[in-house]
Structure 1
Amino acid sequence: MDCFVYGTLTDPARVDELLDDWRFGPDAVLRGAHRVEGEYPTLAPGGETPGRILRTDDIDALDRYEGVDRGLYVRVAVPWAEGSGDQPGGDVQVYVGDPARLAVEDSIEWPGSGSLDARVASTMARECTVVARPE
């Protein structure tokens, strides 16, 4: 599974602590969301974020690390940009933190109604793509 990472999981030593079987794919850019700082980094609508593709089948370990079960982050699917080189079709998983839980100073509004999960997933599926940079 491909995951777009933009914070602590871009560090190979950190990933080694969490996962037994993984590798980095290409550097990539998430278009349609920009990074904001808080206790931990998260994303807000608009702009773009540089990062890396982390490839692993152990998505449960990443969910635990990101605190998905505690509502700290949500994991959403974002499509690969068309023509993104030799990247497989399908989606890339992206973790987006709850700005209120991460002490983000900037006001972040994810459009739509419903839960944060639903608003983030809807916005990112509609407005975001991941673009692989040539390796």
Structure 2
Amino acid sequence: MDVFVYGTLTDLDRAAAVLGADRFRDRGSTRLYGLRRVDGRYPTLAPGGHVDGRLLRTERIEALDRYERVATGLYVRVSVPVNGDGEGCAAVYVGDPKRLDTAEPVEWSGEGSFVKRVEHYVRENRVAIERHD
């Protein structure tokens, strides 16, 4: 599975510590369109703009879910299309701005849970990842 990273895991040494040095592959620089980085206790994403990051390939998604604290709701994992040559989709982790004390207000409009609002925004606004080969 591909994963778009935009924070601490862009440091490949940190990614190796989380995933295991031989358990992921760096697929290079990418840009995520439709979401932008917002800093707080940890970085997260907010509607609009774009953010540069890296695409990693790993089968250790459960390790990433633990690292991003998905079970506690600190981050949610959503699927975002990767444009070009049938690349498919990549996982993207989005942190709950209310729990991360973001430096600026972040609003995810709509109804339902945080993950449902993020998924709705990603789908309705054609959020996508572009590879930089």
SS in structure 2 of the partner of residue 119 of structure 1: helix
> Structure 1: any 5+ residue segments left out of the alignment?
none
Please list, as runs of the form range in 1=range in 2, the aligned pairs for 1:74-85 lying within 5 A after superposition: 74-81=76-83, 84=84
1:89 and 2:87 matched: yes
1:29-83 Cα shifts (integer Å, max 9, x gaps)? 00000000000000000000000001100000000000000110000001112xx
> Structure 2: any 5+ residue segments left out of the alignment?
none
How many residues are aligned here? 130
Using the size of structure 1 for normalisation, the TM-score is 0.92
Question: What is the identity, as a one-letter code, of the residue corresponding to 1:44?
Answer: A
Q: Choose 1-10 or 124-133, whichever is displaced more.
A: 124-133
Aligned to 1:45: 47
Aligned to 1:29: 31
SS in structure 2 of the partner of residue 45 of structure 1: strand
Question: What is the identity, as a one-letter code, of the residue corresponding to 1:133?
Answer: H
The share of aligned pairs that are identical, in percent, is 49
The whole-number CA distance in structure 2 between the counterparts of 1:54 and 1:126 is: 25
Runs of 4+ residues over 3 Å off in structure 1: none
Over the aligned positions, Cα root-mean-square deviation in angstroms equals 1.1
Using the size of structure 2 for normalisation, the TM-score is 0.93
1:100 and 2:102 matched: no
SS in structure 2 of the partner of residue 111 of structure 1: coil
1:69-118 Cα shifts (integer Å, max 9, x gaps)? 0110000001112xx2x5x5321100000001111131111121111110
1:130 and 2:129 matched: yes
1:118 and 2:120 matched: no
